[in-house]
Amino acid sequence: MKVIVVGASGETGTSVVHGLIKSPENFEVTALARKSSVDKPEYLALKDLGVTVSTVDLGTVSDELVALLTGADVVISCLTSGHAEHVKTQNILASACKKASVGRFVPSFFGPICPPRGIMLLRNLKEDLLDHIKSIYLPYTVIDVGWWYQLSLPPLPSGKLANALTMPVQTISGNGNTETALIDKRDIGKYVARVIVDPRTLNKSVFVYNEIWTQNRIFDLMEKLSSEEIPRNHVNEQVLQSKIKTANEAVAAGDNTQIRNLVMSQYELVLGIRGDNSPECAKYLGYLIGKDLYPDLQGESLEQFINDTLAGKIERLYARRR
Ligand SMILES: NC(=O)c1ccc[n+]([C@@H]2O[C@H](COP(=O)([O-])OP(=O)(O)OC[C@H]3O[C@@H](n4cnc5c(N)ncnc54)[C@H](OP(=O)(O)O)[C@@H]3O)[C@@H](O)[C@H]2O)c1
C-alpha cells in the first residue's frame, strides 16, 4: 500500500510514520515536506529509515501536487490545525487528493472527542475541513486519539521534570473526577497502521485510545511513583468559562495571540469538566471504537509512561520545533 504522510516531521507525523515503517512489507511510505524544511534533520532521519521524502507546495491545487499524490492508496495529514489558514491548506490537499483519485484521506484530527460545533474552536476548524471532504465525496477516515499522556502530567515540586514536560498540568479542572481517554503519543502510528487498511473504517470516524483516567487518579499515581506530594490547585467551571469568553472576544476582535489561551481553556473544559472525551460520547457521535475493532492491540500504560518520564527516557514534546 502506498501511503503519503504530510507533516511527517511533527509530533503526530513522527508517530504515524514510525507506526507504518514497522511493517515495511505492508507500506511504502512517502513524506511530503515543504521546500524550506526538506533538509531538516527529522526528514534526513526518515530518509535513513527508508522513507521517500519529496518536496510539496500546498499553496494551490497545482498539477504538480496532483501528480505527487497520484497512485497513493492513502494520504495522511498530520498538519497543525489551530488556525483557519491550516484548514485552507488541508482543503487544498483534500481537493488535490480527489483529483488524484486517492483511495482514502486521513485529515489531521488526532484529537480528543468533542461534539462537532460550538464547543471548541479547534474542533470547529476540523469539522470545516470534514465538510469540505464530504462536499467533494473524497473517501476519508477521521482518526481521533484522546488526549496525549505527554500533556497530562503535573510538574513535581522538586523540579525534577522541569526539562521533561513542555506543558505541565498546573491545575485540576472541577473536582478532578471526570474520566477522560488518554493515549501515548508514540502509539498513534500503531493504531493508524491498522485503521487505514481496514475496510470497516472507510468514510467513518474512529476513536482509538490507550486508557481511561481522571486527573485525581493521575496525580495519585504520580505521587506514588515519584514519592513527592504534588499540590492540587483546582479551577472551577465558572473561571474556565470566563477565560474562554475573554479569549473568544479577543480572537473575534482579531487578536490571534489569544488563540492558544482559548484552545487550552476549551480543552480544560472538554476534558476535565464536560467529559466529552470518552468512548461513550464517541459512540453517541457515531465513532467506531478502536478497542472493539482491534481487541488485540495494546498501547503503553500510563504507569509505564510515567516511570519512563521519571527515568528521563521520554523526549520533550516539540523539542525539535523551530
Ligand atoms: N490529542 C492530543 O492530545 C493532541 C495534542 C497536540 C496536537 N494534536 C493534534 O495533532 C495534529 C498534528 O499536530 P502536531 O502538534 O502533531 O503537529 P506539529 O508537531 O506542529 O507538526 C506540524 C507538521 O506540519 C508540517 N507543516 C506545517 N505547515 C506545512 C505546509 N504548509 N506544508 C507542508 N508541511 C507543513 C510541519 O512541517 P515543518 O517541518 O515544515 O514545520 C510539521 O511536520 C493536529 O490536528 C492537532 O490538533 C492532538
Angle between helix axes 121-135 and 84-99 (nearest 10 degrees) is 20
Cell (9 digits) for 34: 515543504
Q: Say if residues 123 and 114 touch (Cβ distance below 8 Å).
A: yes
CB atoms within 10 A of CB 196: 26
Q: Is 148 in the pocket of ligand 1 (CB under 6 A)?
A: yes
Residue of 126, 185, 190, 243 marked active site:
126
Q: Considering only CA atoms, which residue is closest to atom 10 of ligand 1?
A: 110
- Rounded to the nearest angstrom, the distance between the alpha carbon of 162 and the centre of ligand 1 is 24
201 lines ligand 1 (CB under 6 A): no
Pairing, β 180-183 against β 211-213: antiparallel
pLDDT in tens, 41-58: 999 999 999 999 999 999
**Structure confidence at residue 322 (pLDDT):** 57
Mutate to test the pocket of ligand 1, among 11, 153, 169, 180 (most ligand atoms within 8 A of CB): 11
Ligand 1 atom with the smallest distance to the CA of 32 is: 33
Question: Where would I find the beta strands (DSSP E) of the chain?
Answer: 2-6, 28-34, 52-56, 74-77, 104-106, 141-144, 147-148, 172-173, 180-183, 204-207, 211-213, 234-235, 288-289
- pLDDT in 10s for each residue of the chain, 322 residues: 999 999 999 999 999 999 999 987 899 999 999 999 999 999 999 999 999 999 999 999 999 999 999 999 999 999 998 777 888 999 999 999 999 999 999 999 999 999 999 999 999 999 999 999 999 999 999 999 999 999 999 999 999 999 999 999 999 999 999 999 999 999 999 999 999 999 999 999 999 999 999 999 999 999 999 999 999 999 999 999 999 999 999 999 999 899 999 999 999 999 999 999 999 999 999 999 999 999 999 999 999 999 999 999 998 998 876 5
Centre of ligand 1 to C-alpha 227, Å, is 35
8 A C-beta contact, residue 204 and residue 141: yes
In contact, 184 and 300? CB cutoff 8 Å = yes
d(CA 188, CA 144): 9
Residue 77 Cα to ligand 1 middle (Å)? 9
Q: Is the CB of 79 under 6 A from ligand 1?
A: yes
pLDDT attached to residue 20: 97
CA angle 110, 145, 21 (to 5 degrees): 75
Q: Is 126 a catalytic residue?
A: yes
pLDDT recorded at residue 109? 97
Task: Calculate how far, in angstroms, residue 236's C-alpha sits from the geometric centre of ligand 1.
Answer: 30
What integer pLDDT is reported at residue 25 of this predicted model?
82
CA distance 217 to 224: 10
The SS3 call for residue 210 is coil
Angle among Cα 49, 24, 189 to the nearest 5 degrees reads 80
pLDDT in the model for residue 321 = 67
- Would the CB of 78 count as within 6 Å of ligand 1? yes
